[in-house]
Amino acid sequence: MDQLWEDQEEVPCVACGNPVCGMDRGFAFGTEGVLCWKCAVARGGEYDAAEDNWTTTPDVAGLTVHHEWDE
């Protein structure tokens, strides 16, 4: 499994803005996009805990990574 984050680093969910840390089973897409567990499941994602993998990826259409420093 690719590690997008450092263990303790938190990044905001691109859909709801809640912090997602590397210990959570968030869904990472693109280069920096991250969905929290709730949003990933709400968007159709299905996670296989045994495989430690998303068997069905969430629909991330329309989501863009927003940086605080972008204005």
Q: Which of 36, 60 has the CB closer to Zn ion?
A: 36
How far is the CA of 38 from the CAs of 23, 28, 44, in angstroms?
15, 13, 10
Which of the stretches 8-16, 21-29, 43-51, 52-60 binds Zn ion when contact is defined by CB under 5 A?
8-16
Sign of the torsion angle spanned by Cα atoms 34, 18, 51, 59: negative
Token couple for 23: 């210990």
- Residue 27 beta carbon to Zn ion: minimum distance, rounded to whole angstroms: 10
Which of the stretches 1-9, 37-45, 49-57, 63-71 binds Zn ion when contact is defined by CB under 5 A?
37-45
Verify binding: residue 59, Zn ion, rule CB under 5 A: no
Phi, psi of 40 (to 5 degrees): -60, -45
Q: Given the rule CB under 5 A, which residues bind Zn ion?
A: 13, 15-16, 36, 39
